[in-house]
Structure 1
Amino acid sequence: MTVRRIVANIAVDTVPEARKFYCDLFGLEPVMDLGWIVTLASHETAVTQISILSEGGSGAPVPDISIEVDNVEEVYRRAKEMGCKVVHNLTDEPWGVRRFFIHDPAGNLLNVLSHLS
């Protein structure tokens, strides 16, 4: 048996608002839209992962979703321009990531990160 994909399902009150947020902030593109569900995707291929946490690290709460990007500073700038409230400031963490936390329009806590090289 092989796991082919893991999909994050986000409950929202308004699909268009969440769609705009994720498309504008992360450059995701809709690949399916049935009105009540929209699937957004990047064209990158990634290893299937699931993280199991007892804490969010560095005293942070456990995020609902972690999103790895190639340029966390750029996404941080966009998030600030969009008026997102930063919950955990842009920080280099001792385990080798640079990250920040924000909430999406539905209140989900997002951990936005890049790996340090």
Structure 2
Amino acid sequence: MGVTRIVANLSAPDPIALAKFYQEVFELDLPLDKGWISFLASDATQKIELHTASQGGSGTDLPVISIGVDDLHASEAAVRAAGAEVVYGPVKEEWGLRRFYFRDPAGNLINVVDS
């Protein structure tokens, strides 16, 4: 048996509004909207990862998902321009990772990582 994908599901009172936020900020495609669930996608490929943790590192809360980006500063600017609150960072962690956290419009804590 092999795992073919792992999908994050973000809780939202208005799934399409939250999907449009992520579509705008991270330039994702919206291939499916059923009203109660919206799918966001990208043609990018990645390895499968599943992290287990008791905290987010550096004494932070554990985010619900991590999003890897190729330009951390541009992503931070897009998050702020979309009206989301950056609540941690940007910072270069002692283990070498550059990242920031923000709260999306539904209140989810999101980790954005320079990948």
Q: Same fold (TM over 0.5)?
A: yes
1:67-82 mapped onto 2 (5 Å cutoff)? 67-82=67-82
Contact 2:85 2:104 in 1 (8 A): no
Deviation at 1:11, TM superposition (A): 1.7
Structure 1 counterpart of 2:111? 111
Aligned residues: 115
Query: Which 4+ residue blocks in structure 1 deviate beyond 4 angstroms?
Result: none
Give the counterpart letter for 1:78 in structure 2: A
1:1-117 mapped onto 2 (5 Å cutoff)? 1-115=1-115
Give the counterpart letter for 2:101 in structure 1: F
- Gaps spanning 5+ residues in structure 2: where? none
Give the counterpart letter for 1:69 in structure 2: V
CA distance in 1, matches of 2:31, 2:20: 14
| Identity score, percent | 42
Deviation at 1:16, TM superposition (A): 2.1
- Gaps spanning 5+ residues in structure 1: where? none
Give the counterpart letter for 2:67 in structure 1: I
Contact 2:66 2:111 in 1 (8 A): yes
CA distance in 2, matches of 1:96, 1:27: 26
CA distance in 2, matches of 1:64, 1:54: 12
SS of aligned partner of 1:77: helix
Deviation at 1:34, TM superposition (A): 1.8
* TM-score where L is the length of structure 1: 0.93
CA distance in 2, matches of 1:21, 1:40: 11
CA distance in 1, matches of 2:106, 2:80: 17
CA distance in 2, matches of 1:112, 1:28: 15
Residue-by-residue CA offset, 1:46-103 (whole Å, 9 max, x unaligned) = 0011100111111111111100011111000111222211110200112121100001
